[in-house]
Chain A
Amino acid sequence: MNTSNTSASLNVSVWRGTSDGGEFRSYQVPVQSNQTVLDVVTWIQQRIDNTLSYRFACRVGMCGSCAMTVNGEPRWTCRTHVNNVTENATLEIAPLRNLPVIKDLTTNMDPFFDKWIKAGGVHEPSALRNDPMVPVNPESKARKVASEGVECINCAVCYSACDTVAANPDYLGPAALQRAWTLVNDVKHNGKNTVLSAVSESGGCHNCHSHGSCTRYCPVELNPMKAVAGLKKSTVLSLLRS
C-alpha cells in the first residue's frame, strides 16, 4: 500500500454481526493513493477496532479468500481499487450474499464447497500409477473447453452474485457446475457419466435461468454461464442416448 496520506477520508460502512443478525457501523478511513478495499478493511481492523473479523490470505488475487460485497456488488477485495468503486467517498462493505455469516465479513464457505462435491467435483483417475500416461492434446476441442474454466480461484463471487442460488438454495451454483463441466471435458477424468448424473438431479444445472451474473462478476473473467449451457446440452444428449 502506498502510504502517501492526504487529509481526505472515506466514509466506510461495515456490516458487523453474526448469523443472528447485525448492523452497519460507520468508520472514517484516510484516503491513500492505490488503496484497495482490503486495505481499507485491514486499516479499520488494525487502527480502529481489532474485533473486526474478515478473511484474506494471498492479497494478490490468487487464493480467493477475500471476497466481500462492496457497494452492493460481490468483488475480490484485494484487487478492487477504492477509486474504481467509491461514490462520493463512501464505501459499504458487507459479507458475501447466499452464504451463512460466521462473524462480520467472514462467511461460512461449507455450503459452497459441499456443492462442488455434490456436482461430482472429485477427481476419478482414468489410469493407475503404472499405466502409460494419458496423452493430452492441448489443441483438442475438449481440452480447450476444459481449460476455459480451470483457472477458477474458488472465491464464491459468482455464487454470491447468482439470483438463482438466492431463490433456490438447493441449486448447485455456477462455480460447482463450471468445475463439473471442466471434468466432463478432461480426458484424465474417468467419471464423466457420474458428473453428468450428479448435475442432472433436482438442484442441478437445469435450474439456471441464464441471468449471467456469474459471468458478469467473475473476477478472473471466466464464463460459468457458458459452462452451465454446455452441461445442459450434454446431459440432454446423454439422456436421449440412454
Chain B
Amino acid sequence: MLDVRLYLLQRISALIMAPLVIGHIAVMIYAVQGGLSAAEILGRTQGSLWWMLFYGLFVIAVSVHAAIGLRVVVHEWLGLKGIALRLFTSFVFVVLLALGLRAVMAVTAG
C-alpha cells in the first residue's frame, strides 16, 4: 500500500514541515507578546510575498504528508484498498490543498 515513492514523499514533506512548524510557533509566540488584533496581523501579512511562500509551502507539505499518512490509517484500520484507496488519498490531498491555499491567499494576498 506504501511503495518507495510514497514513502519518500512522506519523508521529504516531513523534512520540509519540521523547520516551518518551528518558525510558525516561534513567530506566534513572539508576535502575541504585546497583544495583536486581527487587523494588525493582516496588516503585516497582506501583500507579503515572504509569508505567502512560507505558508504556501507549508500547506503543500501538509497536504502531501497528511494524505499519505491517512492512506496508511484507512488501509490498516478500515481495509480500504485498490482504486478506493487511491481516490481517498487524492481526495484528502486536494481538499487540504484547496482549503489551505485559500486561507493563505486570504491572509497574504492584497
Binding site for B on A (CB under 8 A): 164, 167-168, 170, 200-204, 206-207, 232, 235-236, 239
The answer to whether B75 and A200 have CB atoms under 8 Å apart is: no
The answer to whether A168 and B3 have CB atoms under 8 Å apart is: no
The answer to whether A239 and B8 have CB atoms under 8 Å apart is: yes
Task: State in angstroms the CA–CA spacing of A6 and B78 once bound together.
Answer: 51
The answer to whether A206 and B6 have CB atoms under 8 Å apart is: yes
The answer to whether A207 and B2 have CB atoms under 8 Å apart is: yes
Rank and list the top 7 A-B pairs by shortest CB-CB distance, nearest first. A206-B7, A167-B76, A200-B4, A206-B2, A235-B4, A202-B3, A207-B2
Task: State in angstroms the CA–CA spacing of A201 and B7 once bound together.
Answer: 11
The answer to whether B8 and A207 have CB atoms under 8 Å apart is: no
Binding site for A on B (CB under 8 A): 1-8, 11, 72, 75-77
The answer to whether B4 and A170 have CB atoms under 8 Å apart is: no
Task: State in angstroms the CA–CA spacing of A232 and B4 once bound together.
Answer: 8
Task: State in angstroms the CA–CA spacing of A162 and B107 once bound together.
Answer: 46
The answer to whether B1 and A207 have CB atoms under 8 Å apart is: yes
- Name B5's closest neighbour in chain A (CB-CB): A239
Which B residues are in CB contact (< 8 Å) with A236? 4, 7-8, 11
The answer to whether A200 and B1 have CB atoms under 8 Å apart is: no
Other 13 A-B pairs with CB < 8 A, given A202-B2, A236-B8, A236-B11: A167-B75, A167-B76, A168-B76, A170-B1, A200-B4, A202-B3, A206-B2, A206-B3, A206-B4, A206-B6, A207-B72, A236-B7, A239-B8
Task: State in angstroms the CA–CA spacing of A239 and B7 once bound together.
Answer: 11
Which A residues are in CB contact (< 8 Å) with B4? 200, 204, 206, 235-236, 239
- Name A231's closest neighbour in chain B (CB-CB): B4
Which of B1, B8, B76, B77 is A202 in contact with, Cβ under 8 Å? B1
Max chain A C-beta neighbours (<10 A), residue from B4, B5, B8: B4
In the complex, what's the smallest C-beta–C-beta distance from A228 to chain B, in angstroms? 12
Which A residues are in CB contact (< 8 Å) with B11? 236
30 of the cross-chain contacts (CB-CB < 8 Å) are: A164-B76, A167-B75, A167-B76, A167-B77, A168-B1, A168-B75, A168-B76, A200-B3, A200-B4, A201-B3, A202-B1, A202-B3, A204-B2, A204-B3, A204-B4, A206-B3, A206-B4, A206-B6, A206-B7, A207-B1, A207-B2, A207-B72, A232-B7, A235-B4, A236-B4, A236-B7, A236-B8, A239-B4, A239-B5, A239-B8
